Structure formats: C-alpha cells, structure tokens
Amino acid sequence: MAKTNTSILKQLHAEQPMVRTNSVLVLRYAEADRNRRFQEGLAWGFPYALRIMYKDPTLEGFLIRNEDPIPSAKPGPLVCFEYQSKPGAGVQIRKLAQ
C-alpha cells in the first residue's frame, strides 16, 4: 500500500510540479484496485499528502470515481488526473485536459 501511494504521489508531482494557491486536485479512477489496495490506502490522507508535498495548506484533494461529479469545493484552479492500473505495468497517473 505504501509503495502504491508513494508511486501515485511521485507521478502526480512529476505531471504537475507546481500548483497555484487554493487549487483543487482531483484523482479520478475507474474502479478500486484491490491488488494494490487503491483507493482505500490513500483516500483518508490524500488532501493532507498534497498539502505536504506542495507545501501549501490551501490545497484540496479528492479521489473520485470517473462517473461521479467533483464534490463542491472552494473556488480555485482545478487540476484533474486519472489513475490507471494495468497488470504487469504497475500504476500510471496521467493529467487530464481541463
């Protein structure tokens, strides 16, 4: 679980090295990845991990299924990513166009 969470956060940072104050970061996923224990291992701490990683206490973060709407959040720039997991390929995070 820690290996998966670390991989996700590193890839998010690689895709989006800087974020503006008050940004809302969303990580979308198609379904839970039981083999890697995603999303259960990251769900409770995702916003806190983002705030620490980007050194910005104003950030908000959500893990949501692809079909679910983005929860109402404070106004600010929106940055969306997608979680993908393929057998043998590991976890891949890609930034979605806004």
Residues 79-90: pLDDT tens digits?
Answer: 999 888 777 777
pLDDT confidence band for 73 (50 / 70 / 90) = low
Give the count of domains, the chain: 1
Domain range for 51 is: 2-95
pLDDT exceeds cutoff 60 at 23: yes
Are the beta carbons of 60 and 24 closer than 8 angstroms?
yes
Question: What is the distance between the alpha carbons of residues 90 and 81, in angstroms, rounded to a whole number?
Answer: 16
User: In the predicted model, is pLDDT for residue 48 greater than 70?
Assistant: yes
Confidence of residue 36 (pLDDT cuts 50, 70, 90): low
| 49, 7 Cβ separation under 8 angstroms | no
pTM equals 0.84
Tell me, what's the pLDDT at 56? Answer: 97
Please tell me the distance from the alpha carbon of residue 8 to that of residue 29, in angstroms, as a whole number.
12
- Within the chain, where are the H helices? 2-15, 46-54
Task: Share the mean pLDDT of the chain.
Answer: 84
